[in-house]
A and B are shown apart, each in its own frame.
Chain A
Amino acid sequence: MRIQHTTQNLNSCKNISYGGIPNARNIISNVAQDGKPLKGLEKFYQSEGLKKFLTSKGFDKLLDLSVKNPVILTSVYSLFLCTLLRPATIMALPGKNVDDKKYASAHSIASGVIGLAVTAAILTPVGQRVKRVFKNPAKYLKPETVKRMFPNVATKEVEKDGQKVMEIVTHDGKMLQTQEFENMRNAEIAELKKKGIYDKLNPLQKENLQDREVPYLCMSNEPIIHNGQPLRSAFFKKANGEACALQSNGTPVLDSMKVSERQNENAEKILKMVPDLLVAAPRAAITVATIPFILTKVFGIKKPVKDPKPEEIKEVSFNSNQAGLQSFDYTELFPGLKKEVQ
């Protein structure tokens, strides 16, 4: 009887992963305590405007970009901040020296444009190559590393040149035993009881839990394939982003898999974002070098001829700092700045 239930429920999980289940929404709001609307914002959460925004293609693209290449997302967003919002605010703020404001704005525009250009040129390929390794780890990594990163990958020992070595094997999804699956279900119910959530569920939801109809809206990540065969199953995720109880093959997700999944997510983020740190200093240098060009092209300030006295340079440097220039001495690149300002 139990197996029958299990089979039915696995089929439910199949549906859940791609199409959702009819009562998933209600269950989510009960199970996920964090989902309760904040006080005073109930109307906002129900508003048509928010619905339109959340169902727009643009918002979906933004979320996709944040997964695929977070550095590009930051750069595009920074481009908006640095080329529009920040210069507009700086120019609108009260202040005596209009030219200082122009320099601050030029710095802002330069940092936004150079930031996106460097990211697009250098960091997009970085994101692509990281993605390639994570999509097909067995092609690029040693079997031991693949096993460590994905504990649900099956391995076997084979003899090569008289030595025993690990080899990755693809599988048909039969990896974990029913007993483990049962234990997982009981542990989940116990946890819901401990958190006081179980008592708040309606009888149907409790029945679903007992019958192992997955009480979550589950979504799958993409599975990992090697030579056209499954290397490991896909993970399902709960509405709060945590790993769900089942893999796409219906077997449970164990703690070791959850930990390695988090480690893999962090590794992917680090590999995609750390190169951005490495180019931070050269990017800042290029940004500063671009400022004179922007001053000329955008604000119409022409390059001055005469070198200023040292004390005059110093004064401009402090003024620039007050206007939001992060105190960089622009006179280094723009000799004669003071004279031009006057």
Chain B
Amino acid sequence: MNISPVNMTNNIQMNKETSFNGLASAAAKGGKVAEVYDGLIEKAARKMVAPVLENSKFTQFLEKTANITDMPNHLSTLGAAATSGFYVRSTLKNDKLQKQERKTLALNQALVFVVSTLGAYFANDKIGKFVDNVRYKYIEYNQHNPKLGSRITGFKTASGLMVFALMYRYISPVVVTPIASAISKSVREHKAAKKAAQANNVA
């Protein structure tokens, strides 16, 4: 025996209003510019997004990563890796620096990225329980809000992204980089002193 639907009509109505009428009215209000923009978005959805979702390798990747629940955090890490990679590459190509200095600086930058990443994951893990608690209070205060379901999903995404951004955009350059620089400077000075001592001995 089948179970009869209960509030499908409401749902359809809600979806119609939010997704289709909304877009159409926005395009109507904005005139030709909005129409062109809407056309571009439509074309991009067909030509760029749909082919990715149809791609078998992307599907396989999704199947393998189905249990990953904190994808935005990993993507933030990849973003930081790309930016750090740019700076490392710039340093290694900087012909105004000596070869050894380039290597030291590049290694310094790479290590800063690694330490910051570990710090971000550690901090995110540590505040997880706190965020969960706040989320339950949010649910308690907003029980009658129709958008509650979607906003709860956003809770974890927002907290993770904020922790990672705080680490990469604030703590890393203000705290981690100077420490790493001080360490590499000390190593450089130690090496230079050792070389000088060896040169003195040879002389």
Q: Give A contacts to B, CB under 8 Å.
A: 3, 6-7, 10-11, 13-14, 17-20, 24-25, 28-29, 32, 34-38, 41, 45, 50-51, 54-55, 60, 62-67, 70, 73-74, 77-78, 81-82, 85-86, 89-90, 93, 104, 108, 111-112, 125-126, 128-130, 132-133, 135-136, 140-142, 145, 148-149, 172-174, 176-178, 181, 217-225, 228-230, 233-234, 236-237, 239-241, 248-251, 259, 262-263, 265-267, 269-271, 273-274, 276-277, 280-281, 283-285, 310, 313-314, 317-318, 321-329, 331-332
| Of B50, B98, B137, B162, the contact of A45 (CB 8 Å cutoff) | B137
Given that A82-B169, A317-B97 are contacting pairs, would A133 and B50 also be in contact in the complex, using a CB cutoff of 8 Å?
yes
| Chain B residue at minimum C-beta to C-beta distance from A75 | B165
Given that A38-B129, A45-B137, A262-B67 are contacting pairs, would A63 and B2 also be in contact in the complex, using a CB cutoff of 8 Å?
no
Q: Judge whether A327 and B91 touch: CB under 8 Å.
A: yes
Q: Judge whether B155 and A63 touch: CB under 8 Å.
A: yes
- Chain A residues contacting B94 (CB-CB under 8 Å) are 317, 329, 332
Looking at A25, A74, A77, A248, the one whose CB has the most chain B CB atoms below 10 A away is A74
- Chain A residues contacting B79 (CB-CB under 8 Å) are 273, 276-277, 280
Q: Judge whether A310 and B96 touch: CB under 8 Å.
A: yes
Interface of B is mostly: helix
- Chain A residues contacting B157 (CB-CB under 8 Å) are 66-67, 70, 269
Question: Nearest Cβ in chain B — how far from A155, in angstroms?
Answer: 16
| Of B7, B68, B108, B166, the contact of A266 (CB 8 Å cutoff) | B68
B202 within 8 A of A: no
| Chain B residue at minimum C-beta to C-beta distance from A239 | B139
Q: Judge whether B19 and A136 touch: CB under 8 Å.
A: yes
Q: Judge whether A145 and B54 touch: CB under 8 Å.
A: yes
Q: Judge whether B75 and A176 touch: CB under 8 Å.
A: no
| Of A130, A136, A181, the contact of B3 (CB 8 Å cutoff) | A181
4 pairs of A and B residues whose beta carbons are closest in the complex: A219-B149, A173-B5, A280-B82, A66-B158
| Of A19, A37, A74, the contact of B133 (CB 8 Å cutoff) | A37
- Chain B residues contacting A141 (CB-CB under 8 Å) are 50, 53-54
**Measured between alpha carbons, how far is A85 from B175 in the docked complex, in Å?**
13
- Chain B residues contacting A221 (CB-CB under 8 Å) are 149-150
Q: Give B contacts to A, CB under 8 Å.
A: 1-8, 10-12, 14-16, 18-20, 37, 40-42, 44-46, 48-50, 52-54, 58-59, 62-63, 65-69, 71-72, 75-76, 78-79, 82-87, 90-91, 94, 96-98, 101, 105, 108-109, 112, 129-130, 132-158, 161-162, 164-166, 169-170, 173-174, 177-178, 181-182, 185
| Of A132, A239, A317, A322, the contact of B42 (CB 8 Å cutoff) | A132
- Chain A residues contacting B185 (CB-CB under 8 Å) are 318, 322
- Chain B residues contacting A18 (CB-CB under 8 Å) are 7, 10, 146
Q: Judge whether A248 and B41 touch: CB under 8 Å.
A: no
| Of B65, B101, B134, the contact of A314 (CB 8 Å cutoff) | B101
Question: Nearest Cβ in chain B — how far from A284, in angstroms?
Answer: 4
Interface of A is mostly: helix
- Chain B residues contacting A177 (CB-CB under 8 Å) are 1-2
Supplied contacts A236-B149, A250-B3, 14 more A-B pairs, CB within 8 Å: A7-B4, A28-B139, A38-B133, A45-B133, A54-B134, A60-B151, A62-B158, A125-B40, A125-B44, A149-B53, A266-B66, A317-B105, A326-B112, A328-B90
**Measured between alpha carbons, how far is A149 from B155 in the docked complex, in Å?**
24
| Of B67, B76, B152, the contact of A239 (CB 8 Å cutoff) | B152
Looking at B37, B52, B138, the one whose CB has the most chain A CB atoms below 10 A away is B138
- Chain B residues contacting A10 (CB-CB under 8 Å) are 3-4, 6
Q: Judge whether A148 and B59 touch: CB under 8 Å.
A: yes
Q: List 22 A-B contacts (CB under 8 A).
A: A10-B4, A13-B6, A24-B143, A55-B142, A60-B145, A64-B147, A78-B169, A86-B173, A125-B40, A129-B48, A140-B49, A140-B50, A172-B5, A225-B20, A239-B135, A248-B5, A249-B8, A271-B52, A284-B83, A317-B97, A324-B173, A329-B96
- Chain A residues contacting B170 (CB-CB under 8 Å) are 81-82, 85-86, 89
**Measured between alpha carbons, how far is A74 from B78 in the docked complex, in Å?**
14
- Chain B residues contacting A66 (CB-CB under 8 Å) are 154-155, 157-158, 161
Question: Nearest Cβ in chain A — how far from B132, in angstroms?
Answer: 5
| Chain A residue at minimum C-beta to C-beta distance from B42 | A132
Q: Judge whether B75 and A274 touch: CB under 8 Å.
A: yes
Question: Nearest Cβ in chain A — how far from B145, in angstroms?
Answer: 8
- Chain B residues contacting A70 (CB-CB under 8 Å) are 72, 157-158, 161
Q: Judge whether B96 and A259 touch: CB under 8 Å.
A: no
| Chain A residue at minimum C-beta to C-beta distance from B46 | A140
Looking at A237, A322, A323, the one whose CB has the most chain B CB atoms below 10 A away is A322
Question: Nearest Cβ in chain B — how far from A255, in angstroms?
Answer: 11
| Chain B residue at minimum C-beta to C-beta distance from A59 | B138
Q: Judge whether A17 and B7 touch: CB under 8 Å.
A: yes
Q: Judge whether A263 and B63 touch: CB under 8 Å.
A: yes
| Of B15, B129, B178, the contact of A224 (CB 8 Å cutoff) | B15
- Chain A residues contacting B139 (CB-CB under 8 Å) are 25, 28, 217, 239
